[in-house]
Amino acid sequence: MSNLCVVGLQWGDEGKGKIVDELAPGYDLVVRYSGGGNAGHTIVAGRKFVLHLVPSGILRDSTRCVVGNGTVIDLVTLLTEIRELEGAGVVLRGRLTVSDRAHVVFPYHYILDGLQDDRADGIGTTRRGIGPCYVDKVARTGFRVADLYEKPFGERFGRVVADKNAAIRAMGGKETCDASALLATVKAQAAALKPFVGDSISLLHEALAGGRSVLFEGAQAAMLDIDTGTYPFVTSSNASAGGVAAGLGIPPRCVERVLGVSKAYTTRVGAGPFPTECAQREGEILRTRGGEFGSTTGRPRRCGWLDIPALRYAVRVSGVDRIALTKMDVLSGLGPVRMAVSYRSRRGRKDGYPATVEELGEVEPEYVEFPGWTFADGISCFGDLPESARRFVREIASRTGVPVAYVSVGAERGALLEVGSG
């Protein structure tokens, strides 16, 4: 089995967790390369699991999981997740490795994230400290997991906390961090995490050299990618397939295939451009039927129709060679279904995707409409979908130029149809 990257093609929450869990038995390792506790990946396997940092292959016994150097680790989130998984009987020791080079999210990152997001130009982040932590990484003032175990950590940490408290006060924040209490807490958390910490780069290189197959699990999505997304309404890391090499310390050629995940419609949490967003009632119907509330924050997701121009752009950016289309069941019984196939642009743009929020605000999506379809729960074969549903799927393939390989028809494990080549 060749290495596969599973990547979000929209604005997140496409069902990556479900797809990774379904495919994980075919891989030796499942690896996260970017993002942090802002991700919420849901797997329904007997019961519901929402994973923020632990890769979505963890529920498959034979799979080894790695959280790579490109991620940002909130110790509380990760330790809670580990405890909850172990409580559910999932064996993690010897199966989960957290990179010693991943950066650490501290409480002051949360506070700064909240203060920044409370301002008029806030973008509606998940408030999980992601942006401020990546800022420290790039500014070279951050702490990586390995640093927590080195002697100078305490002293440097004290200085950084003092700087951060000053920054918090300058932004009008009241809540600051007590450096010595925080240091004691972090040391205890670091000790608890120690059995899981390792040299992820060596581990991955050894696995690859030994012919092991790897599934790279994307978090967030192409349209939230710091470089290719709808900036500034994006996250702070490279969520697209391009993030794999740097986020794991492996050569780009290791990404052999890329499976892009898209909902059969579109959702977005937080602010930012959303050309195909539906007006209140239509959007409300999609939200209710699809249970569209954030897996991490519980916020209602904004809903709209499938956006082919955005999808085509995301496919191109990540070199997607197959698509997994999720939540087809949500559209069942809805009545006519729409799909935006192009944007009418006053600027006469012919190719590519608009770079600015201003240009995106001006575009007018042009839609095609499909007769609705209805199918029952428990459908197990693509050929059993109504013709109009299959035509919708074929249309996505022809308009993006890549085949749809899977159609997901329910949240539960197993509710996944393989699309044959015929």
Q: Which residue, among 284, 303, 309, has the nearest Cα to 360 in the 3D structure?
A: 309
Q: What is 243-279 written as a DSSP string?
A: HHHHHHTS-GGG--EEEEEEESSEEE-SSS--TTBPP
Candidates 40, 114, 129, 283; binder of Mg ion (CB under 5 A) is 40
What gap in Å lies between CA 334 and CA 290, rounded to an integer?
11
The active-site residue, picked from 21, 28, 41, 329, is: 41
Nearer to ligand IMO, 12 or 260 (CB): 12
Known catalytic residue at 41: yes
From residue 310 to residue 349, what is the string marking binding to ligand GDP with x (rule CB under 6 A)? ----------------xx-xx-------------------
Where in 175-309 does DSSP place strands (E)? 197-198, 214-217, 257-263, 266-268, 302-304, 306-307
Ramachandran quadrant class, 226 (left: phi over 0; alpha: psi -120 to 50; beta: rest): alpha
Stretch that binds ligand GDP, among 37-45, 137-145, 202-210, 227-235 (CB under 6 A): 37-45
Residue 74 binding ligand GDP, by CB under 6 A? no
Q: Does 126 bind Mg ion (CB under 5 A)?
A: no
Single-letter amino acid code for the residue at 8: G
What does DSSP say about strands 337-344 and 306-307: parallel, antiparallel, or unpaired?
parallel
Nearer to ligand GDP, 111 or 315 (CB): 315
**Partner touching 266 among ligand GDP, Mg ion, ligand IMO, none, CB below 5 to 8 Å by kind:** none
Q: What is the CA radius of gyration of the chain?
A: 21
The footprint of Mg ion on this chain (CB under 5 A) covers a number of residues equal to 3
Decide if 377 is catalytic. Answer: no
Helix, strand or coil for residue 30? strand
Active-site residue, selected from the candidate residues 13, 100, 225, 307: 13
Residue closer to ligand GDP (CB basis): 127 or 327: 327
Q: Which is nearer to ligand IMO, 126 or 332 (CB)?
A: 126
Q: Can you tell me which of 14, 21, 22, 307 binds ligand GDP, judged by CB under 6 A?
A: 14
CB of 41 to Mg ion, least distance (A): 6
Residue 409: partners with Cβ closer than 8 Å, 6 or more residues away: 328, 329, 375, 379, 415, 416, 417
Residues at the contact surface with ligand IMO, assessed by CB under 6 A: 8, 12-13, 38-41, 123-126, 128, 130-131, 219-221, 224, 233, 235-236, 269-270, 295
Extract the runs of DSSP E, i.e. beta strands, from 100-248.
103-105, 197-198, 214-217
Between residues 240 and 295, which has the closer beta carbon with respect to Mg ion? 295
Nearer to ligand IMO, 199 or 227 (CB): 227
Phi, psi of 124 (to 5 degrees): 80, 55
Site for Mg ion in 250-309 (CB under 5 A): 295
**DSSP codes of every residue in 336-375:** SEEEEEEEE-TT---SS---SHHHHHH-EEEEEEE-----
Rounded to an integer, what distance in angstroms lies between the CA atom of residue 284 and that of residue 119? 27
Q: Which of ligand GDP, ligand IMO, Mg ion, none lies near 329, with the C-beta cut-off 5 to 8 A by kind?
A: ligand GDP
- For the chain, how far is it from start to end, CA to CA, in angstroms? 23
The verdict on 13 binding Mg ion (CB under 5 A) reads yes
Site for ligand GDP in 43-72 (CB under 6 A): 44
| Calpha distance 346→359 (Å, rounded) | 9
**Site for ligand GDP, residues 152 to 191, rule: CB under 6 A:** none
Angle between helices 153-170 and 107-118 (to 10 degrees): 20
- Exactly one of 331, 411, 417, 419 binds ligand GDP (CB under 6 A); that residue is 411
Binding residues for Mg ion, per CB under 5 A? Answer: 13, 40, 295
Binding residues for ligand GDP, per CB under 6 A? Answer: 8, 12-18, 40-42, 44, 291, 295, 326-327, 329-330, 408-411
Give catalytic residue positions: 13, 41
